[in-house]
Amino acid sequence: MADVVRARLRVYGVVQGVGYRYFVRRAATALNLAGFVRNRSDGSVEVVAEGEKAAVNALMEQLRVGPTYASVERVDAAWEEPGGDLAGFTYGF
């Protein structure tokens, strides 16, 4: 069985108002990850993703690039214990 992990990611740069959350949801769903994506008041985007370690790492690589109109400065990652409490990949509030 593959290693299941959870990562809490913060993405900084021009990542709000450019389709970034849609991009993340689409990428995470394609990778069969559970979690959510939401805008933060400081202009960053927060992503919580849980699933196979290789899939979470693949998502992190995609987050560093982002959609066409985004300009990603950095992605900070904090690894957490997977909880198995997430279903699907949604927009958080």
Whether residue 2 is predicted with pLDDT greater than 80 in this model: the reply is no
Question: How many other CB atoms are found less than 10 A from the CB of residue 34?
Answer: 21
Q: Does residue 7 belong to any structural domain of this protein?
A: no
Can you tell me the distance from the alpha carbon of 31 to that of 15, in angstroms, rounded to the nearest whole number? 21
Count of structural domains, the chain: 1
Contact between 78 and 16 (Cβ < 8 Å): no
Structural domain span for residue 21:
16-82
pTM to 2 decimals?
0.95
Can you tell me the distance from the alpha carbon of 82 to that of 23, in angstroms, rounded to the nearest whole number? 23
Q: Known catalytic residues?
A: 21, 39
Q: Does residue 60 belong to any structural domain of this protein?
A: yes
Q: Does residue 92 belong to any structural domain of this protein?
A: no
Q: Does residue 10 belong to any structural domain of this protein?
A: no
CATH number at residue 56: 3.30.70.100
Q: Which of 25, 84, 83, 92 is nearest to 59 (CA)?
A: 25
Residue 7 has a pLDDT of 98
Residue 8 has a pLDDT of 98
